[in-house]
Structure 1
Amino acid sequence: MIEHDPRHSYPHDYNDTYAGLPVASAPLPGDAPDRELPDAAAAAWRLEANTDDPGLDDKFEEVFARFLTRMDTARVTALLVGGWENSYEVDSSHVVRLFVENAERFPALRSLFFGAIPSEVAEISWIQQSDVTPLLKAFPALERLDVRGGGMPALQPIRHEALRMLRLESGGLGADVVRAVGECELPALEYLELWLGVEQYGGDAAVADLGAILSGERLPSLRHLGLQNGEIQDEVAAAVSAAPIVARIESLSLSMGVLTDTGAEALLSGQPLTHLRRLDLHHHFLTDSMIERVTDALPGVDVDLSDQEEPEDEWFYTAVSE
């Protein structure tokens, strides 16, 4: 199974490594023309507009053009798209267009994080995304796509032969996007992670919208399923407990959400989970007695039950929302 970068599930900025490579910043406007840069294939390159210094107020298009000039992009395998100017007001469609129009310049690209923007620049639910389907069409050899945003992307059902990992990080993932993921034909996909989020930030997906994913009919290679960060986590757990896809995956994550004893009981009462290598339930609202029951029921499974939460004035919360 494709290896995922080790992290603790909350928004990870991948400042150090991404897709198994050290992260390097794309050439900046103040760089000397002869500044020594890492080999193009030896780093995951972060491209982002510089809006912190008034003297270096580069727009993303300028950063991108400089990267094309300075770098042998034919050998670049991994990219992180950081902030574009006013990413909390302006959507990413112009950035998508840049990549689509220059796709032939990146024949080796295999991993792309679209929206790797730290919270001090824009909180996850402020990031305005757009339709990312053109990226999948323009890069048929892409193996990994991560997308972060609250104004979450549109996604059209598509067949992609090479994609092995798909991660959508959001404080509120729309039902239309969840359904579109299930309607995609992704024969090579091994790792799927969706942050469902909360209704306040657009997370209006219901369990019924997960039906195509849980059937597994279009995901023959899937080995990890993450349905995370949801306020409907108990309902998701109940659906997962009888889902056909669960019998053939190796790891399952229902972490970061409002999982209570009700959801855990559904998991224990459903199909066997003893075949799993790992079950990630961290950030949960289980009682001590239920934690003990889950642990005892799955002695050979690596179960993560860390981050036991307590409701605040009867308010149950996801790990990530705004």
Structure 2
Amino acid sequence: MISATRRSLLATPFLLTLPAGAQAQAWNPGRPVRVILPYPPGGGTDILARAVAEAMRPALGHPVLVENRPGANGAIGSDALSKADGDGTTIGMVTSTHTLNKYVMASLSYDPLADFRPIAKMTTQTLVMVSGTAQPFNDVAGLLAAARARPGAIGFGQTEAVTRFAGTEFARLAGVQMEDVPYRGGGLMMNDIVAGHLPCGWTSTASAMPHLSTGRVRVLCVSTAQRTPLMPDVPTAQEAGVAGYDIASWVGMFGPKSLPLPLAEQIHAAVATAYRDPALVQRFQTLGLEMDLRPPAAFAEFLVADDARWAEALRHGRIQKAG
């Protein structure tokens, strides 16, 4: 489910050729650009958004300001983005929960595909299962043994629909009962992991990386079928005994549907310029993020396929719609 071709973290970013019109024109908004982020500060997507915003500023000559608008599984910020002016001064960044919400939330005030203009697919992200080093288990086998000994007593933290799916799918395929514990953001969840208040949780590498050097957090497994080059010694969930487990997330940039396609292509070109900044490339590697930059047309095609995968998951009962 949502598997992706794995790329080395040291590889050159995946850049597709832009239309000639986009190459000939420069995006010059003339004033600060607002990036609506539907998630709270401190999480992996927030860290990514601020790094990209900083790298874009020199090319624009104006600040790129990240505005956190968390709540309702990302729907509050996405709703605000859908209603923004399409003049290129308000854009947004979302995770793969953006398409998933349509199939797990009772209702949405917008359509995740029809009401937005795709600008750029930005990353492919491995998810990780993390736990505190004070927990009585130190690997997946130990966690599963504890979960089988006390069904329902071992909870996993999650921050939005995709990490919740990661946890519930893990439990389903492993044949154990684990309750999900919702958090408003990856930073808050990681604080409880570090403090030992939460047995384990699913999050992005960007959320987990800052805590690994403390010696109080360990990564039990990664979500994809292949190991990530950033953590070559960490097994995949499949290697740890959970057959068939293969999940990856993504982050993308959107504008409101009123954003003209030529302008979306110009914004993408500005992002592509930022992606060639050595400091940003190093930042991605430090956070364990895989650059996977695709322009509007290719991103739109990807979103249609992603939407179809979630629709299939709902038909087969692997996800459930609320209400």
Q: Per the shorter chain, which TM-score range?
A: under 0.3
TM-score when normalising by structure 2: 0.27
**More strand as a share of residues:** 2
Which one scores higher on RCO, CA 8 angstroms, separation ≥ 6? 2
**More helix as a share of residues:** 2
Of the two, which has the highest radius of gyration?
1
